[in-house]
Amino acid sequence: MADRDSFAEYFRVSAARVPPSPESVLHGKRALLDLVLRSRSREIREDVVASSGEAGPLYVSRINDFAATSWRPEVASNSSESLRRAIDRIANL
């Protein structure tokens, strides 16, 4: 969620609803599921969120596809201190 614009575009939700500081969100997965419940795409909603409100049947596949095709770690690291530190450590290897 730290790459707000890409997250919003991929999951077809309003960027204004994506938390600006995702590390401050107490329950990140729950917040992600709640956001996706508001997706303009029925297919994405059904893939990611089960009728019970828990992770849906294609939750992992959708997250992996988002990470592989849309996520911009350099942008996300501006909103996520832990990601920025991880990227810095990897770069130092």
81/41 Cα distance (integer angstroms): 31
Chain segment 4-18, per-residue pLDDT in tens: 999 999 999 999 999
Structure confidence at residue 67 as a pLDDT band (50, 70, 90):
very high
The model's pTM: 0.91
Domain boundaries, the chain: 4-92
pLDDT for the residue 85 = 97
Cβ neighbours of residue 62 under 8 Å, at least 6 residues apart? Answer: 11, 44, 47, 48
